[in-house]
Amino acid sequence: MPLPPNSRLLFIGDSITDAGREPMGEPAPWGTPGLGRGYVSLVESWLLATRPQDRVRVFNRGTSGHTVRDLAARWQADVLDLKPDTVSVMIGVNDVWRQFDTPLRAETHVLPDEYARTLEDLATRTLATLAAPSRLVLATPFFIEGNQADPMRVRMDEYGAIVRRLAAKHGATLVDTQAAFDAVLAHAHPMTLAWDRIHPQPVGHMVLARAFLSALGAL
């Protein structure tokens, strides 16, 4: 799914996408600082280094702490109004995490049915604006834990399966971030990728950037 020249590539998600971005979520005139310090800036840097003639404009609309419920509330302003040519959605970590770190605050929990229903609604709204279904990129949430029997890993895999089903149903491009991390976890401890198994360190963001670039046909 190669990126067209002179196109607009938008990433939206939670803190993993946010990665300390500037409020406008666009690069500064000299490069990547406005896109944060994570995988989005790495993707933009790769495109600038390898395809400068294509002038692909990258937007970061990640917001720390957000769930798919929060994305729905800002979808019009942060996605549709910007008229992107390719939209990448990675959400679900907080939808799952809140079920474990604040188990008594049920109002903050986004359970699988709501997650699937909301994500599909956002996908449907967005597909109507894109030139092809493959221009919608759906990325699984992940938990950087090699023990697949860990309760939070089990739950995260359930949400990842929802994303895979939606991508297949709608013909969207899938980025299986959990599989990308699992390949590295076969040889490295989780703490080398993310101290809390959620927020990647630089090498973890490189794992993500590689997975996204491969899906975007840019490697």
Report the pLDDT value the prediction gives residue 29, as an integer from 0 to 100: 55
State how far the Cα of 72 lies from the Cα of 78, in Å rounded to an integer: 10
Q: How many CB atoms lie within 10 A of CB 6?
A: 11
Q: Which of 50, 44, 43, 94 is nearest to 70 (CA)?
A: 94
What does the pLDDT look like over 15-57, one tens digit per residue? 999 999 987 766 655 555 689 999 999 999 999 999 999 999 9
Q: Which two tokens stand for residue 177?
A: 């971030």
Amino acid at 60: N
Fold (topology level) of 8-215: Rossmann fold (3.40.50)
Q: Which residues are catalytic?
A: 15, 196, 199
**Residues 142/160, Cβ–Cβ less than 8 Å:** yes
What does the pLDDT look like over 174-219, one tens digit per residue? 999 999 999 999 999 999 999 999 999 999 999 999 999 999 999 8
**The model's pTM:** 0.95
Pinpoint the alpha helices (H) of 102-194: 112-127, 151-170, 177-185
Q: What are the structural domain ranges in the chain?
A: 8-215
**Residues 197/190, Cβ–Cβ less than 8 Å:** yes
**Residues 144/194, Cβ–Cβ less than 8 Å:** yes
Report the pLDDT value the prediction gives residue 27, as an integer from 0 to 100: 63
**Residues 115/68, Cβ–Cβ less than 8 Å:** yes
Q: Which two tokens stand for residue 84?
A: 């992107």
Amino acid at 148: Q
User: Helix (H, G, I), strand (E, B), or coil: what is residue 207?
Assistant: helix
* Average pLDDT for 109-125: 98
State how far the Cα of 219 lies from the Cα of 2, in Å rounded to an integer: 10
State how far the Cα of 49 lies from the Cα of 51, in Å rounded to an integer: 6
Percent of the chain beyond pLDDT 70? 96
What does the pLDDT look like over 69-103, one tens digit per residue? 999 999 999 999 999 999 999 999 999 999 999 99
